[in-house]
Structure 1
Amino acid sequence: MMKEGIIILSVAFNCFICYHSYNITAGVGYKTNTTFHVYNNSMTWYEALTGCHSKGVRFFRALSEISRKYLIYLIHKHGMQSGRIWVGIIKPSFQTTLYNGNDCGNSSKKIEFTDYNSTQCLYLDLSDPESFDLADCHMKYPFVCFSKTPIIETINTTMHIQEIDGVSNLIMNVRNLTKDECGLVCSKTLNCVYSFFDENNCTFGTDATSDFDVEYRFIISSTFTTDIATYIKSPNRVHINIIDEDTAYNNTFDCGFDSTNHTTFTTAKSTGEFQSTQQTLTTEQSTTLMECESCPEEECNATRVVSNMTIKDALNLAEELRKTLTIDKTSLSSYRRSLECADDSRPSSKAFGSFALCILVGLLVIFFALDITSLWQNCRLKHVAKRTGKGEINLMTNKNADLGKIQI
């Protein structure tokens, strides 16, 4: 009777905690509903940018590797298997910074390039999602624009995941996030399908298929537990629109760093400030010096000044700047410090120095002590030999004197 009462109580408690189970379909995508507009007709990068903006959409930048993989997989599914497509990143001539063509802001993307002198634009290689490079902006390739609409989502604190259909395509990883951050970060992560916060751990389930159309089915149950937080991303967030048109677009790109017709040059004045100057010299052969100013992060309003200078004048000006900016290295504090010994007053340093000195002196004493006996014997032998040599000389002198007396 006691056992039956416990079983009945346990069943009643479980029914009280768990309302019912139901199915939810999940997928991948951005925080917003996103539509990619893929234009099959080839245009220059400038025309592509104008084409996107004329439709009220933005030039796709493809900054992250994950975005490129998903986009290229989506394009492959709609018939385009190879070739190049423009994306909205540009590198002005004589600069190493990449800029976003939509708003002229600095791009966080870093890429190696070999042509420093010319303006180049970024393209994607559809045969390899990891391959993207710079090319002449006047080359003609297809391009991709995108538009987005908001999605209203909530993080449910009373949902418990019982089962996931297709879990083999998910990669589980645990992140150190708070309960509020767990679902928010997942919603902004392209390949995140769901997140589950429990016991101060945030578990992410990320998709490994690189397919925008992938779907996962969850079996969910409601619970009274309030120390968990579950976020499941709704599917069908990304769409594609393949466009074939022969519309011609004019180049309306104007970020202020188009250096094909403009030049910026600066000179140093006596006040120490650098200001733009304009010089026009009429010579038989002139050379245009071109340099781009950096665009601000939010807007681009770089100033441009036309300067035509001869090579001789440019070299003279460069030499004056070099003399103005060059300083004597012997006047630097680093050079003076290299010739001075730094004092170290720490007791440990003094102790180590004294110990090393004792070792050196001890070694000298040991070497001298080992040879002192031989040195003493050698000195005595030399002394004896010296005295013996003097005695023999005196004896010979006396003998010669006696012989001389006898002969007389």
Structure 2
Amino acid sequence: MPVPPDIPNALKLYNGTLAGSRTLYACPPGFSSNGGSPEVVCDGLIWSTTSYSCSVSSTPTVPVTTSSTTTTATTTTSTTATLATTPQTTTDPVGGIPVRTNISLEEFNAIVEGLKVPKSNTSSYKRRLTCAYDPRPSSKAIGGVGIGLICSVFVFIFIMDCTTIKKKNRIIEEN
């Protein structure tokens, strides 16, 4: 089963390696993405590709929209920078679902925490101390043979001890 590819400087979160599994990438603090899709999907044999990358950031990681206004009467120009309030999205090529392309580390960690499953809720944890019933005749026969062999070893040891005790009792009675 293929493991999702690593992207340099990116955090990786994936939910399996079977068909339909998804991997989500995020840039850590101090790095920014190039705007590519942060998600890849496994088809069972290979993972889809992405152009997502993380590079050292010298600018804020939140996209900035710049707007300029010019007033002709006073001939002054003002430029203001505002943080974008809507996240950048792209369409998932597999499912056609909108996917956010820039998430913060806090959002990434929140997703990770949301995907964690307590160990006590897993079926393997619940089954670890329980025996499985097997109604097949062959398994019953094999179990019966196993019990018979174990019992025969104890019976053999008991018979050997009985003969030894009987011999010692004869010697004691003769003296």
Query: Do they superpose with TM above 0.5?
Result: no
**Higher RCO by CA contacts (8 Å cutoff, separation 6 or greater):** 1
TM-score, with length taken from structure 2 = 0.41
